[in-house]
């Protein structure tokens, strides 16, 4: 099968970026090459004419008023990479590094940065040769740090992993038949500037969040059937009274999952608790929030976030300083993604509690095979409750952290990268919560729902779960069950 190669002739969108992070190839494209070359010609003209340009012939940050002579501009580019590689902590996973690289290549391909085509090709070579720069996760208040660690490898410094081995940047490039870049004027600044880090990480969090909300509809329906809920609350004429595309979509999904369930026929309960009755409203609210985040990330990828940008013609070149690297809107959107996903985990944990709580479930206590000698899912619910608590703390907005850097020159910080990083953690936590609920719901079906009475879709889901997770009888560590459930959710559940 031929692999479709995406090019940079048109801006990437969030789904394309996530696919590239997962290993899909990326190439420059003729249109991108032309734009990049035209912008580089403007930088050459700026240098030749001595037009004042931030980071081209001046220092950066609070050193913007220090002139850098042409003979030192290559050195400026290299030393910017060295001094800005200030990351701390464990390295990011490979897919997150790939997402950042793809987002930065996309940013440079708009043709407003002024780097050479060779710089973008070098970034894409990291992707296409599976070279993963070692990028510490922490140490960023917005941008700069993560990209500096990637740029280190481009110039033969730092460390990277290739074919599973940790090597120096120079060794990793040589192994792939590549040579280190010698950076020219502005290239050092353009390689570390902009919002590609938060954009790339945010696109990954978003892709997983969309897969998660789809899985959540399936898991909720699975639990709903086991608990004998009343599906009348999901009737189309009732749901349509609240205007929300997300609620409508979740209700359609729930009804598809539950269609044909004789176990739910003629249920006598007039009104279910909110953790069952409000599933389309909570899951739908999450869908609406994710739609907004999708629009924000796609707009970010279609935007130039470098500073300065180059404009004009070679005869009249211009460097325009602005604040496009300050992605306040993106930071707020990623904060909202975190809050939305935290709600998804919160209602899932409440459904899980109803599955294991003998006071309300009508099921064996804690779904234990031999209650008393066996504890079943009792403490797994504790784990889910702990993750809900952690999510509540993580959902506090990073975009309001503030701070002052560079001697008052950079006295507003939007913290978009920390917002993206915590969104990824929130998504992983909710994958774990839903994984526990999924395993518990399968156990509840074994105890209370005969195979013939299940909806066809939930019957298929039960088979899917049981292919990986055997019935539980306190016969192996619960951690293994929880991890297997999370993996099923993360991979995506089969559709109704």
**Which of the four pLDDT bands, split at 50, 70 and 90, describes residue 298?**
very high
Mean pLDDT of all residues in 343-355: 98
- pTM, 2 dp: 0.95
Q: What is the pLDDT of residues 306-337, one digit of tens each?
A: 999 999 999 999 999 998 989 999 999 999 99
Mean pLDDT of all residues in 110-116: 97
pLDDT score at 403: 86
The C-alpha atoms of residue 46 and residue 29 are separated, in whole angstroms, by: 26
Q: What is the pLDDT of residues 377-397, one digit of tens each?
A: 999 999 999 999 999 999 999
The more confident residue out of 19 and 140 is 19
pLDDT score at 1: 37
Pairing of strands 165-168, 159-162: antiparallel
Mean pLDDT of all residues in 86-104: 97
pLDDT score at 2: 46
The C-alpha atoms of residue 346 and residue 391 are separated, in whole angstroms, by: 9
Residues near 176 by beta carbon (within 8 Å), at least 6 away in sequence: 125, 129, 131, 162
DSSP one-letter code for 133: E
**Which of the four pLDDT bands, split at 50, 70 and 90, describes residue 123?**
very high
The C-alpha atoms of residue 169 and residue 179 are separated, in whole angstroms, by: 10
The C-alpha atoms of residue 222 and residue 438 are separated, in whole angstroms, by: 8
Structure tokens that stand for 187 in this block: 């290239």
> For residue 142, how many other CB atoms are within 10 A of its CB?
25
pLDDT for residue 61 is more than 80: no
State the DSSP H helix or E strand holding residue 352, giving kind and residue range, or none if neither.
Answer: helix 328-356
Architecture of the domain delimited by 6-193:
Orthogonal Bundle (1.10)
Q: What's the 3-state SS for 73-108?
A: HHHHHHHHHHHHCCCEEEECCHHHHHHHHHHHHHHH
Q: For the ranges 64-78, 155-169, 197-211, which has the lowest average pLDDT?
A: 64-78
Structure tokens that stand for 241 in this block: 């009274």
User: Is the CB of residue 214 less than 8 Å from the CB of residue 493?
Assistant: yes
| Four-point Cα dihedral 442, 448, 449, 450, nearest 10 | 110
The C-alpha atoms of residue 427 and residue 419 are separated, in whole angstroms, by: 12
> For residue 373, how many other CB atoms are within 10 A of its CB?
8
Of the chain, the percentage scoring pLDDT greater than 70 comes to 99
pLDDT score at 90: 96
pLDDT averaged over the chain? 94
Q: What is the pLDDT of residues 419-468, one digit of tens each?
A: 999 999 999 999 999 999 999 999 999 999 999 999 999 999 999 999 99
Q: First and final CA of the chain: distance in angstroms?
A: 28
What does the DSSP assignment read for 174-242?
HHTT-------TTHHHHHH-SSHHHHHHHHHHHHHHHHHHHHHHHHHHHHHHHTT--GGGG-HHHHTTS
pLDDT score at 345: 98
The C-alpha atoms of residue 136 and residue 90 are separated, in whole angstroms, by: 5
pLDDT for residue 258 is more than 90: yes
pLDDT score at 72: 84
**Which of the four pLDDT bands, split at 50, 70 and 90, describes residue 58?**
confident
Pairing of strands 159-162, 132-133: antiparallel
Q: What is the pLDDT of residues 200-255, one digit of tens each?
A: 999 999 999 999 999 999 999 999 999 999 999 999 999 999 999 999 999 999 99
Residue 308 preceded by cis peptide, ω within 30: yes
Residue 54 annotated among the catalytic residues of the structure: yes
| From 54, 143, 382, 412, active-site residue | 54
pLDDT score at 43: 94
The C-alpha atoms of residue 193 and residue 77 are separated, in whole angstroms, by: 12
C-alpha to C-alpha distances, 343 to 80, 111, 208, 209, 329, nearest whole angstrom: 41, 40, 15, 12, 21
Instruction: State the span(s) of the chain assigned CATH 1.10.275.10.
Output: 6-193
Instruction: State the span(s) of the chain assigned CATH 1.20.200.10.
Output: 202-491
Q: Where are the beta strands (DSSP E) in 24-181?
A: 26-27, 88-91, 132-133, 136-138, 159-162, 165-168
The CATH class for the domain spanning 202-491 reads mainly alpha
The C-alpha atoms of residue 101 and residue 114 are separated, in whole angstroms, by: 18
Q: 161 pairs with which residues across the strands?
A: 132, 166
């Amino acid at each position: 099968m031929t692999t479709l190669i995406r090019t940079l002739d048109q801006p990437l969108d969030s789904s394309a970026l996530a696919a590239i992070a997962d290993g899909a190839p990326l190439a420059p494209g003729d249109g991108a090459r032309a734009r990049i070359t035209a912008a580089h010609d403007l930088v050459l003209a700026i240098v030749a004419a001595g037009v004042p340009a931030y980071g081209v012939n001046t220092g950066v940050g609070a050193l913007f008023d220090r002139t850098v002579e042409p003979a030192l501009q290559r050195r400026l580019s290299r030393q910017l990479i060295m001094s800005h590689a200030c990351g701390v902590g464990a390295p990011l996973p490979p897919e997150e590094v790939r997402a950042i690289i793809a987002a930065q290549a996309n940013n440079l391909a708009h043709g407003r940065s002024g780097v050479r085509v060779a710089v973008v090709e070098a970034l894409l070579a990291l992707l296409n040769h599976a070279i993963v720069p070692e990028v510490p996760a922490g140490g960023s208040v917005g941008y700069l740090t993560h990209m500096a660690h990637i740029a280190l490898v481009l110039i033969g410094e730092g460390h990277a992993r290739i074919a599973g081995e940790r090597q120096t940047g120079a060794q990793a490039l040589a192994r792939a038949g590549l040579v280190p870049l010698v950076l020219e004027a502005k290239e050092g600044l353009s390689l570390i500037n902009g919002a590609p880090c938060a954009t790339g990480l945010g696109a990954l969090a978003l892709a997983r969040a969309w897969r998660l909300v789809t899985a959540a509809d399936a898991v909720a329906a699975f639990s709903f059937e086991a608990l004998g809920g009343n599906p009348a609350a999901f009737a189309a004429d009732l749901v349509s009274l609240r205007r929300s595309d997300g609620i409508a979509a979740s209700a359609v999904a729930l009804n598809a999952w539950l269609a044909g369930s004789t176990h739910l026929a003629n249920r006598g309960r007039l009104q279910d608790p909110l953790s069952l009755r409000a599933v389309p409203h909570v899951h739908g609210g999450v869908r609406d929030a994710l739609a907004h985040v999708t629009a924000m990330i796609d707009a970010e990828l279609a935007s130039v976030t470098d500073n300065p940008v180059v404009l004009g013609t070679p005869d009249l070149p211009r460097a325009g300083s602005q604040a496009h690297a300050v992605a306040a809107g993106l930071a707020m959107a990623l904060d909202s993604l975190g809050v939305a996903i935290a709600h998804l985990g919160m209602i899932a944990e409440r459904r899980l509690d109803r599955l294991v709580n003998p006071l309300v479930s009508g099921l064996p206590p804690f779904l234990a095979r031999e209650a008393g000698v066996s504890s079943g899912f009792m403490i797994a619910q504790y784990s889910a409750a702990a993750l809900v608590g952690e999510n509540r703390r993580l959902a506090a907005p990073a975009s309001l952290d503030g701070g002052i850097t560079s001697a008052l020159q950079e006295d507003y910080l939007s913290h978009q990268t920390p917002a993206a990083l915590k969104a990824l953690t929130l998504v992983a936590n909710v994958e774990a919560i839903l994984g526990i609920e999924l395993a518990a719901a399968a156990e509840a079906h074994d105890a209370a729902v005969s195979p013939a009475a299940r909806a066809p879709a939930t019957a298929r889901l039960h088979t899917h779960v049981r292919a990986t997770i055997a019935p539980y009888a306190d016969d192996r560590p619960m951690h293994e069950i929880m991890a297997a459930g999370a993996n099923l959710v993360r991979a995506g559940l089969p559709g109704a």
